[in-house]
């Protein structure tokens, strides 16, 4: 899976990003785009209405199910840069990496802030932006999800007994807090 910008560029990725399915006969490539795996829903009520980005695919051990973790954005409800400031993490499932992918429906991890002013004032764990999901599926199909909190410069983790959630922070959930802001 790879992110692509439709009708935009890296500078407005949060409004134009989709997730495409790429295939190759060789793990080293070259890769060819086989189609769109996931795009924004277009529904103003959805956390991923306008953009999906930063995909990671993992497979469950006990079920023939693939999971696609991603960032979702809603520029219909939050225009301009506010859209970028309120990223959420979602998951979709499929029986094959080729899809079709079915969204869980709601974000599995969402920011706590409700407006940009609150976001800037708080600047602490998971308050504004949650991003860059990286999932580990355990033998019993439980999931540990690592992700990034932007304003606090932290790498965080949550655990879920099922990929559908709920994802819960536990003691020691802050893996690292860095002295500077990092990106990807």
CATH number at residue 96: 2.115.10.20
pLDDT recorded at residue 112: 66
Would residue 182 count as lying in a domain? no
CB-neighbour burial class of residue 16 (10 A; exposed 0-12, middle 13-18, buried 19+): buried
pLDDT digits 0-9 by tens, 110-136 = 876 555 555 555 545 445 678 889 999
In the predicted model, what is the mean pLDDT of the chain? 84
CA distance 128 to 142: 26
Percent of the chain with pLDDT over 70: 79
Judged by average pLDDT, the poorest of 7-11, 12-16, 83-87, 140-144 is 7-11
Count: domains in the chain:
1
Would residue 117 count as lying in a domain? yes
The pairing of strands 17-23 and 32-38 is antiparallel
pLDDT digits 0-9 by tens, 174-184 = 666 665 555 55
pLDDT recorded at residue 35: 96
Would residue 183 count as lying in a domain? no
The residue segments making up the domain with residue 144 are 2-177
- Per the DSSP assignment, residues forming a β-bridge with 2 are 20
Q: Which of 30-44, 141-155, 165-179 has the highest mean pLDDT?
A: 30-44
CA distance 12 to 70: 17
pLDDT recorded at residue 176: 64
Would residue 169 count as lying in a domain? yes
- Is the model more confident about 65 or about 157? 65
> E-strand spans in the chain?
2-5, 17-23, 32-38, 51-59, 66-73, 88-94, 102-103, 130-137, 143-149, 154-160, 174-177
| Residue 84 DSSP SS3 | helix
pLDDT recorded at residue 87: 86
């Amino acid at each position: 899976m790879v992110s692509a910008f439709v009708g935009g560029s890296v500078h407005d990725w949060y409004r134009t990003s989709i997730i495409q399915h790429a295939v190759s006969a060789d793990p080293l490539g070259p890769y060819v785009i086989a189609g769109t795996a996931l795009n924004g829903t277009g529904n103003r009520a959805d956390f991923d209405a306008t953009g999906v980005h930063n995909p990671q695919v993992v497979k469950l051990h006990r079920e023939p199910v693939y999971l696609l973790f991603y960032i979702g954005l809603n520029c219909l409800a939050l225009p301009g840069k506010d859209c970028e400031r309120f990223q959420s993490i979602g998951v979709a499932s499929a029986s094959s990496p080729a899809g079709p992918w079915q969204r869980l429906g709601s974000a599995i991890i969402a920011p706590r802030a409700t407006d940009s002013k609150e976001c800037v004032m708080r600047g602490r764990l998971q308050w504004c932006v949650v991003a860059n999901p990286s999932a580990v599926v355990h033998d019993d199909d439980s999931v540990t999800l690592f992700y990034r909190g932007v304003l606090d410069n932290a790498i965080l983790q949550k655990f879920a007994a099922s990929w559908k959630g709920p994802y819960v922070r536990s003691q020691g959930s802050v893996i690292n807090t860095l002295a500077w802001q990092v990106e990807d």
